[in-house]
Amino acid sequence: MSLAQSAFVSLVRRWPYCVVCILLTISSVAGSWYLREKAADLRVVHGQRTTEGEAMLALLVGGSTQKQELEAVRAAIRRIEDNLVVEANLAENLLYFYKLEEQTKAKLPELHQLSSPNLDKSPIYRRVPYTLRITGGFEQVSAFLVALETGSRLVKINTFSFARTDVSGSNIALDLNLEVLGKR
Cα–Cα distance measured from residue 50 to residue 25, given in angstroms and rounded to the nearest whole number: 36
Q: Does one domain contain both 108 and 49?
A: no
Residue 31 lies inside a defined structural domain of this protein: yes
Is the domain of 74 the same as that of 37? yes
- The CATH number that applies at residue 94 is 3.30.70.60
In a domain, 66, yes or no: yes
103 and 179 belong to one structural domain: yes
In which domain, by residue range, is 107 found?
Answer: 90-183
> 39 in a domain, yes or no?
yes
- Domain co-membership, 58 together with 111: no
The pLDDT score that the predictor gives to residue 5 is 83
pLDDT tens-digit readout, 55-112: 887 777 666 777 788 889 999 988 888 888 888 888 888 899 999 999 999 999 999 9
Same-domain pairing of 97 and 32? no
pLDDT digits 0-9 by tens, 10-68: 887 888 888 888 889 999 999 999 988 888 888 999 999 989 988 887 777 666 777 78
**Is residue 174 domain-resident?**
yes
- For β-strands 155-164 and 125-137, DSSP reports them as unpaired
Residues 6+ apart with CB under 8 A from 114: 129, 130, 131
The answer to whether residues 102 and 66 belong to one domain is: no
Q: What are the Cα distances from residue 165, in Å, to 7, 105, 111, 161, 178?
A: 132, 17, 18, 12, 22
49 and 109 fall within a common domain: no
In a domain, 33, yes or no: yes
Asked if 62 and 111 sit in the same domain, the reply is: no
Residue 9 domain-assigned? Answer: yes
Domain assignment present for residue 65? The answer is yes
Domain-embedded: residue 120? yes
pLDDT at 182 over 80: yes
Last residue of some domain: 45, 79, 113? Answer: 79
How high is the pLDDT of residue 99? 92
Are 96 and 145 found together in one domain? yes
Overall domain count for the chain: 2
Q: Are residues 162 and 96 in the same domain?
A: yes
Domain shared by 118 and 67, yes or no = no
